[in-house]
Amino acid sequence: MCRLAAYLGSEITLSQFLLEPEHSLVKQSWAPNEMREGTINADGYGIAWLSDNRIPCTYKNVLPIWSDTNLEGLGHSLKSKLWLANVRSATPGQGVNETNTQPFIKGNLIFTHNGCLSPFDNTVKADFLHILSNDFRAEINGNSDSLYLFALLQEQLLSHQSLSDAIVATINELKIFCNNNIKALLNIVISDGEHLYASRHAINAKCPSLYYLLNDDNVSIASEPLTPENEWIAFPEHTLISFNNSSVISQTNL
């Protein structure tokens, strides 16, 4: 399991997004309130944002987020209208390295996942590889379930016009080969640079926590509320919600 957060709206610093909230993602790395599987998120972290020319960028570190001496300087230096971040609690057997560390980027897509597939054994990997084309198989350069999920999403995008439809199709494919034998926790947040798409879903398990907060010119998403404000709204279980910078665009049952 992991904890994640995302932001879309008026430009803010990395510090405002990641460090300053009372229950920031940094705090959630060592003192999460609602994480059922695991106790801390000490297996690295990553952040993603848009550069001035709107190219997705990432910074990753395999150290616990609280021990990264670069973070304070980055927090005051980096500004963006879009942020995604993940603090990682690695599933046993999935290496602690930068390749497996989220968020992942491809083209204009930024992807992060809070959850797991269990077991994630050779049979499950073979099911993924059976669906994927050679191009997407070749791009899986790590061994985390999240990398396989991202590859499957990109495969689905080839045959679906919208990112929302591709996410739904990805989850439907997972339902087929999970059957009753595989537990899948599928809190996923994706951005195309203009919107945020977030799912709260699980197969053969209880959904992990996920919340959102809408303001006049921004939206925040997080595994746990970042602030004590009571305006945070819990995602309904088994839903996909699409956001622009100030409102919900659509909600789909999964």
Could you tell me the residue ranges of all domains in the chain? 2-253
Fold of 2-253: Glutamine Phosphoribosylpyrophosphate, subunit 1, domain 1 (3.60.20)
CA distances from 88 to 40, 65, 155 (A): 9, 9, 25
Model confidence at 1: pLDDT above 80? no
Q: In the sheet that 211-214 helps form, which strands lie side by side, from edge to edge?
A: 56-61, 45-50, 79-88, 2-13, 218-222, 211-214, 233-234
Dist. CA 40–CA 110, nearest whole Å: 24
Residue with tokens 């006049």: 216
Token pair, residue 9, equals 């709206």
Model confidence at 137: pLDDT above 80? yes
Q: Which amino acid is at 57?
A: C
Catalytic residue among 2, 116, 178, 207: 2
Taking a C-beta distance cutoff of 8 angstroms, is the pair 201, 224 a contact? Answer: no
Taking a C-beta distance cutoff of 8 angstroms, is the pair 237, 200 a contact? Answer: yes
Tell me, yes or no, if 57 is annotated catalytic: no
Which band of pLDDT confidence, cut at 50, 70 and 90, is reported for residue 39?
confident
**Three-class secondary structure assignment of the chain:** CEEEEEEEEEEEEHHHHHHCCCCCHHHHHHCCCCCCCCCCCCCCEEEEEECCCCCEEEEEECCCHHHCCCHHHHHHHCEEEEEEEEEECCCCCCCCCCCCCCCEEECCEEEEEEEEEECCCHHHHHHHHHHCCHHHHHHCCCCCHHHHHHHHHHHHHCCCCCHHHHHHHHHHHHHHHHCCCCEEEEEEEEECCCCEEEEECEECCCCCCCEEEECCCEEEEECCCCCCCCCCEECCCCEEEEECCCCEEEEEEC
Q: Give which of 177, 137, 143, 176 is closest to 155, Cα–Cα.
A: 137
Residue-level pLDDT at 37? 73
Model confidence at 36: pLDDT above 80? no
pLDDT digits (tens, 9 = 90+) for 165-203: 999 999 999 999 888 889 999 999 999 999 999 999 999
Dist. CA 63–CA 99, nearest whole Å: 14
pLDDT digits (tens, 9 = 90+) for 64-120: 999 999 999 999 999 999 999 999 988 877 888 999 999 999 999 999 999 999 999
DSSP bridge partners of 186: 115
